[in-house]
Amino acid sequence: MQELSHEVPMSMSDSQWLFLLNVRDIVEKEAFVRSVYYQELNESKTEQCNETMKYEKGKFLEEKQRKYDAGEIMYGRGFYDYIDIRGKDFRKRLDEKMPQLIFDCRFLLKNSERNICAFIKQIKTVYDYNWFNPNPFRMSIANLYMDDFVANLVKKNWHFAVGPPSTNSSTDLSKVDENFDFDLAEFEDLEEIMSYNSEDNTERHIFAPRITSRGIRSVLDPGIKNEEVAFISKNATRYLGDDISKFKAFVICATRDDTTHPTTSPSVAAADDGFNSYRLPLEKYIKWEQGRKDISFARITNIMKDVYLKESEWKEAFLKHVPEWHFKKRDNEKSEILETKKARLQRINILKEAVQELHFRKIAFQRPEQKGTPKKPRVHRTLLSTLLNAVDVKEGTGDSISGVKLPSEGNFEDEHQNQKSFESNPGSNSGFDSRSDSESSTLVPGDGFNGCLLRCKDEHMMKMDNEWSMDFAFPLVSLLRTNGSVEVAKEKARSICEDNELLDSCFRSCSMSLERKILRLGLQPWRHLCRKLELLMTQFDCWKSNIDTLTLGCYLESHKIRESMEAFTHNQSLMVVESICRDMNILSICSIEEFSKYCGDVSKILLIQLFQSSRDTVIEMLKIRWPVLPYTCNQKIEYYKEEEAQLALLNIENLTVFEASSGDLPEANKHGETLQI
């Protein structure tokens, strides 16, 4: 970057490097490096200003002390002072009760790293302003789920919650229980999982807000009605009126509130919880001329406080707290500014191209394609197919992992529209490779892998080419997306089940081998799915009508598991396996919650059963390579049991937990054979 621009800092701290490594978007990376550069410049200027102010203050105090010693009356610290008697004012305000101010963090993790950092800092700023205000709101923070990245930011910025930093502590999580995992765990109060830093003999702030992962209702005062709670959203259809004293709680969501992110809008959060959403009446009083129409949390809070206390009308409050330049007409930008913006845009494009050329997805393990060799069809069905591509078993070794070419990062919807699929590496030893007969002669004797099994696979793939996309959550969702109508999708689903059954029959006709076992394991979740297909198809209409919401609802979780699978193709450690298992658990719970939210309990119980089946199959496949798996992979998911027990009380008909049939038993049990690596 130093070759492209001078806006690069001379050095960065450990915490800045850590933040930069967590940022995924190249534009945000460049913006962060640029901000550190200007921060470095400002520090030197600030230091000079502080020295000047210190000198001038010293001269002023010397003059003041000289006059005091001469017998003059001087006021100030160390001199004469007023006695401020406030008892009468305090007695008048004994019964005063300001409304609650609640920050809703349910969508926090679905924002970019840059926005997450900004929201965490804005909440801190609101607390600071609120503390020094004579009429403070009663603050609470709800729906806060933290991963390690968010926990580090909380530890660094929210001193009111976890204590001030000591001289011996850094911004890491050294004060947190070593056995605690921040993977979206629930907590009643932040103190349960992040101990208060009291090394400096300080006490926990008596007015520290309650911070919890529970919902909005858990922090509301008893007796507050739904109509007395107002979610603030600039996309809401109703304006706040002139008299807002009827509201007893205001909720601000920590998310981007714009039309480009409709699924994470505060209006959606309010509707989910049964509350109403309102917008500030900015357009009714002020004409916004330039800049993004985003008002910080602190300014929103101060505006509402002035109106609530009737200290000013809406228009006065807006003019008082919103920077004036937003209301001035845009002047023609100077040529120097335009040139600077143009140069920065060119720099970002160069960085994007450089990263794209160096991206390991496009350069790892690729061999020149031989002329005359027919290209094999591309295939991707589910997460199980990815694992199957990644596990490479050779007789006598069993410890090599083949590389898998994954789709490049980009817009999630574009991946669906373009129907990008995984393509096996030409150098792979997995079941989906394209090696010659001579190359595969080291596999199980008596069954040439490019013979029976490869023939079964090729016949099946000719029918299934380009059918499956990057939908880890549930393959039927991508099926509904890529077909025009629900009826066409139903027919396609039936056809796929028939083709998979033919493929399984073809595999069974081949002689026993470890490769056959792995390939049949990959079909096991589909056998479960097809047995419930008629019941699943009753949900197609609802899934189709909510296709975009269901697809984007767990985008962050889906992105994480893609990253884990990506790492698995290059690093075959148990640490990565544990990450895969953990991300699968999180994704399954997210998907189940999203489907049940929009399509009810039938979809919920069906997905619970299907995800259980897929998880069991993945674990069985992993055990071929690793007999002993991490605890995250083997632990029972209590969420499944709890939800099934709760739904069982509702007497949902025709829904039973999958029972193992002879077709689902491991081949070693069916044929009395033992397969070992």
Q: Is residue 278 part of a domain?
A: yes
Q: Are residues 521 and 592 in the same domain?
A: yes
* Residue finishing a domain among 327, 346, 372: 327
Residue 328 one-letter amino acid: K
Q: Are residues 452 and 314 in the same domain?
A: no
Alpha helices in 532-626 (DSSP H): 533-537, 540-545, 547-553, 555-568, 574-625
Helix (H, G, I), strand (E, B) or coil at 439: coil
Confidence band (pLDDT; 50, 70, 90) for 521?
confident
For the whole model, what pTM was predicted? Answer: 0.46
Mean pLDDT of 502-520: 81
Q: To 10 degrees, the CA torsion angle through 444, 450, 455, 457?
A: 80
Q: Is residue 111 part of a domain?
A: yes
Q: Which of 168-177, 441-450, 543-552, 610-619 has the highest mean pLDDT?
A: 610-619
Tokens of 199: 């090394």
* Whether residue 676 has pLDDT greater than 70: no
Tokens of 634: 């083997």
- How many residues are present in the chain? 677
Q: What is the pLDDT of residue 397?
A: 35
Q: What is the pLDDT of residue 587?
A: 83
Residue 537 one-letter amino acid: M
CATH number for the domain including 119?
A: 3.40.1280.30
What domain range is 323 assigned to? 98-143+214-327
Q: What is the pLDDT of residues 232-284, one digit of tens each?
A: 998 888 999 999 999 999 999 999 887 667 788 899 899 889 999 999 999 88
Q: Are residues 594 and 666 in the same domain?
A: yes
Q: What is the pLDDT of residue 479?
A: 65
Q: Are residues 243 and 313 in the same domain?
A: yes
Task: Work out whether the CA dihedral 335, 338, 343, 346 comes out positive or negative.
Answer: negative
Q: How far apart are CA 119 and CA 671, in angstroms?
A: 59
Q: Are 489 and 483 in contact (CB under 8 A)?
A: yes
> Mean pLDDT lowest for which of 436-440, 466-470, 593-597, 650-654?
436-440
Angle at 630 (CA atoms; ends 624, 633), nearest 5 degrees: 75
Q: Is residue 6 part of a domain?
A: no
184: left (phi > 0), else alpha (psi -120 to 50), else beta? Answer: left
Confidence band (pLDDT; 50, 70, 90) for 578?
confident
Q: What is the pLDDT of residues 366-415, one digit of tens each?
A: 444 444 444 433 333 334 444 444 444 333 333 333 333 333 333 333 33
Q: Are residues 611 and 482 in the same domain?
A: yes
Q: Is residue 400 part of a domain?
A: yes
DSSP 110: G
* Whether residue 125 has pLDDT greater than 70: yes
Q: What is the pLDDT of residue 538?
A: 84
Q: Average per-residue pLDDT in the chain?
A: 71
Cβ neighbours, 10 Å, residue 353: 11
Q: Are residues 310 and 440 in the same domain?
A: no
Q: What is the pLDDT of residue 303?
A: 94
Tokens of 4: 């492209």
Q: Are 606 and 536 in contact (CB under 8 A)?
A: yes
Q: Are residues 508 and 645 in the same domain?
A: yes
Q: Are residues 293 and 387 in the same domain?
A: no
Q: Is residue 320 part of a domain?
A: yes
Could you tell me how many helices (H) and strands (E) the chain has, helices first?
26, 10
* Residue finishing a domain among 280, 308, 327: 327
Q: Are 652 and 658 in contact (CB under 8 A)?
A: no
> Mean pLDDT lowest for which of 64-68, 403-407, 635-639?
403-407
Mean pLDDT of 547-571: 74
Q: Which residue has the higher pLDDT, 468 or 537?
A: 537
Q: What is the pLDDT of residue 22?
A: 76
Q: Is residue 167 part of a domain?
A: no
Closest among 630, 641, 640 to 589, alpha carbons compared:
640
Q: What is the pLDDT of residue 90?
A: 61
Q: Which of 41-50, 220-229, 527-536 has the highest mean pLDDT?
A: 220-229
Q: How far apart are CA 248 and CA 216, in angstroms?
A: 13
* Whether residue 363 has pLDDT greater than 70: no
Q: How far apart are CA 188 and CA 185, in angstroms?
A: 10
Q: What is the pLDDT of residue 177?
A: 44
Q: Which of 137-141, 183-187, 581-585 has the highest mean pLDDT?
A: 137-141
Confidence band (pLDDT; 50, 70, 90) for 572?
confident
* Residue finishing a domain among 310, 327, 344: 327
Q: Are residues 121 and 265 in the same domain?
A: yes
Q: Are residues 320 and 457 in the same domain?
A: no
Q: What is the pLDDT of residue 42?
A: 78
Q: How many domains does the chain divide into?
A: 2
Q: Which residue has the higher pLDDT, 463 or 580?
A: 580
Closest among 462, 466, 430 to 449, alpha carbons compared:
430
Q: Which of 266-280, 492-506, 641-655 has the highest mean pLDDT?
A: 266-280
Confidence band (pLDDT; 50, 70, 90) for 447?
very low
Strand-strand pairing, 210-211 and 138-142: parallel
Q: What secondary structure does DSSP assign to 629-666, as a single string?
A: --HHHHS--HHHHHHHHHHHTTT-TT-------GGGS-
Q: Are residues 484 and 571 in the same domain?
A: yes
* Whether residue 636 has pLDDT greater than 80: no
Q: Are residues 568 and 458 in the same domain?
A: yes
Residue 75 one-letter amino acid: Y
Tokens of 575: 């640490």
Q: Is residue 84 part of a domain?
A: no
